[in-house]
Structure 1
Amino acid sequence: MRLLVLMLIFISTLSFAETKPQPTIPQQTNVEYQQLQTLNKELNVLAKEATSTTGSSLDVIRLQLLNKNKELRKTLVELIDDKNADKKLLVKQVEQQITFAAEAEKFLQTKVERDQKDLDKAKDTDKLVALKALTESRDFIILVLNEEWENYQWMERLGKPQPNAIKALKNNIEHRLDFMSASLTFGSQAVDLNEKQLKSATGDELKALQVSQILAQRQVDSDTKNLTDLVKLADNMGIDTAEYKRLLFEQTGNVTDDLLNSKVMWSIATSWTTEFGSWLFENLPQMIFKVFIFIFIIFAFKTLKNIVRKMVTRAVSTKNLKMSMLMQEFFISMSGKIVFAIGILIALSQVGLNLAPILTGFGVAGIIIGFALQDTLSNFASGMMLLIYRPFDVGDLVEAGSITGKVSHMSLVNTTIKTFSNEIIIVPNSKIWGDIIKNVTHEKVRRIDMVFGIGYSDDIEKTERVLQDIVESHPSVLRSPEPNIKLHTLNSSSVDFIVRPWVKTDDYWDVYWDITREVKMRFDREGISIPFPQQDVHLHMVEKAIESKIAN
Structure 2
Amino acid sequence: MNRFYFSRVSQLIMLFVLLIIGLGFTAKKADADQVYTAATTSNLEVNIKELELMLHPLTNAELKIEAAAWQGQLQQVARQLSQSEILAHRLEVKEAAEAEKKAAEAEKKAAEAEKKAAEADEEVAEAGEEVAEADKEVAEADKEVAEADKGIAEAVKKATEAGLDQKIKSEKAKSFKDELLEEIAAMKLAQAAVAKRMEVVLSELEKKGGDTKELRLYTDAFSGIEIDVSNTESAWLALEAWVTSDEGGLSMLVSIVKFVVAMIFVILLANLTGKIADRFTKISNVSSLLKSFIKVFARRIVLFIGFIASVSILGINIGPVLALIGAAGLVIGLALQNTLGNFASGILILLYRPFDMGDVVEVDGFTGTVNSMTLLSTSIKTFDNKFIVIPNNSVWNAAITNVTGSKTRRVDMVFGIGYDDDFTTAQKIIQTVLDDHPKVLNEPKPIVRMNELGDSSVNIICRPWTKTEDYWDVYWDVMEAVKYEFDTQGVTFPFPQQDVHLFPAK
TM-score, scaled relative to structure 1: 0.45
Give the structure, 1 or 2, with the largest relative contact order (CA under 8 Å, sep 6 or more).
Answer: 2
TM-score, scaled relative to structure 2: 0.48
- Determine which structure has more spread, i.e. the larger CA radius of gyration: 2
